[in-house]
Each structure stands twice: as structure tokens, then as C-alpha cells.
Amino acid sequence: MNFKDLLKERIHHDLGFDFYRKDKYPYSKFEVIFKERALIAGTIFVPTIVKIVEDEFFLKEFEESEKHKFELIKRDGDETYSRETIMYIYANANVLLKAERTICNILSELSGIATHVREILSKIDNSVFLLDTRKNDPLFRPEHKYAIRIGGGKNHRSGFFDGVLIKDNDIAIFGSIKAAIDNSLTSSKLLTRIEIEVSNIRDLEEVLLDGRVDAILLDNMPAKTLKEAVEIISKSKKHYIVEASGVKEEDISEISKTGVDFISMSSLIRKAKYIDVSMKVVK
């Protein structure tokens, strides 16, 4: 299943099991309007949505009909202001009526995420990168990760298949940090980076003594402890990627000054506000 299949499922839940026809509906022009200020994300998916609606849910005509076309005024990564038109779409009116809600929902959701990420980035030291997490719906994760990048953030792993993160449960299951690392090194693929989660200085020192992981996640540490942990890591003979997690938005500015390389936050998606987007016929 790829992202097109998921888009099709979203549309299918809107349109049901019925079929639709283009006859009696004119070739029309619609405009996509952002009703509030935002960083745009999601326009890249609009042509695919329109094509899926037309190809999968509409009967083919006996005569060749006019195809859809798009006029982009603003693209993903551009800022839009209140009541601003960012795109015109030309197509059969019934096709666009059926595609309207999916288009608006995706633009609203992804632009909300991108806008929120940019707001958080404005509060932190520019040497630190923001990372997303896996605390979201995995079916929509590729679209969410795209919005994170548009907002200026970076992407953490998508799942168990593209990175190894040794967490507290892994350590508890195998009985020690060393045993958990042993297991991950045995089962991981070639060239896969390994990151381990620690929540106190004692465990951090054990990880550094072992020396086999590539990245260290400092979980739920206050700024003072994070700064101390970063200083200890910097004195080791090996370079580690250092990530802070469990960070609250109100503490983000202080945490960004501790020397960590990355800050991961589930709130980049979970606390993002949907942007008010509409799609109207141009008269």
C-alpha cells in the first residue's frame, strides 16, 4: 500500500460505493482560498487527488472531454495571508465537487503542521534541528513528514524498518544496556544507525563506556541535566548525534541552548491547528 492507495481510501470514504458522471456538469473554474495566515503545505497532492477522483469514481465519457489543469499562484513553502487565493483548478465541475473536501482537508491539516513547526523554530537556537516522532497515525505519516520538512523541521525514522532505537523497554527485556545493544547489533541491517534512549547520567556513562551506538536520546531530562549530559558526551572519544526528547513547547528555547543536536517533539503534529481552507466556484 502506497500513499496513492491511502488517498484513494480517504476519497472512497467520502464518495462511497456509487459511481458518478460528468454529463450535465460544465467545465468549471474553482479557486482554493486560505482564510487565515499560514505556511502552505499540501498543494503537491492536489493534482493526484483530482486524477484519482476522475479515474476511479467517474464513468468514462463516449466523447473526449476537457482535461483538468492547474494554475498555481503560491506553492508549498510559500506564506499566504487571510482570504488569499493560492490556486485555480479547471476541470469538470462534478469532479471538483467530489474532490473538494479531500483537497481542503489535506491542505488544512498539512499547512497547519508546517505553520506550527515554523512557529516553534522561531523560538529556538538556529543550530538545533526539530524532529518529528512516530506518535501519529502511521497511515498518514508520509504526508505529515512532508509537512514537517516544509515547515523547516527534519524527519526521524518512519518505523522499525529504517532505524534502530533502543528504548527503556528493550533494556528491561534484555536485562542491561550492553545486552540490549548486543541484540540490536545482531539483528540490524548493514549501514543502519543505532540510537539508544537514556534518562539519567549513570546510564549515559554506561552507554559511553560501551561505545557502540551512533546516537544518544536524552529522554525527559531538565535543561540543567541535559547540559551536563552534553558536556560528558563531548569529552568522549567518539562523536555522537545527541537528541533531546520529552520536551514541552514552553521549555523549547531553554532546551535548545543546552548543546543538543536535535529536539524531537510529538506536539509538532499533535498540537498543530487546522487551517481554514475553502474551495469555491469562480463566477
What is 44-101 written as a DSSP string?
GGHHHHHHHHHHHHBPPPSS--PPPEEEESS-TT-EE-TTEEEEEEEEEHHHHHHHHH
pLDDT per position as a tens digit, 213-250: 999 999 999 999 999 999 999 999 899 999 999 999 99
Beta strands in 178-273 (DSSP E): 194-198, 215-219, 241-245, 262-264
Q: Under 8 Å CB-to-CB from 220, ≥6 apart: which residues?
A: 199, 245, 246
pLDDT per position as a tens digit, 55-93: 999 998 876 667 889 999 999 999 999 999 999 999 999
- Mean pLDDT score of the chain: 95
pLDDT per position as a tens digit, 250-282: 999 999 999 999 999 999 999 999 999 999 999
pLDDT of 100 over the 90 cut = yes
Q: Are 150 and 39 in contact (CB under 8 A)?
A: yes
pLDDT of 283 over the 80 cut = no
Q: What is the pTM of this model?
A: 0.94
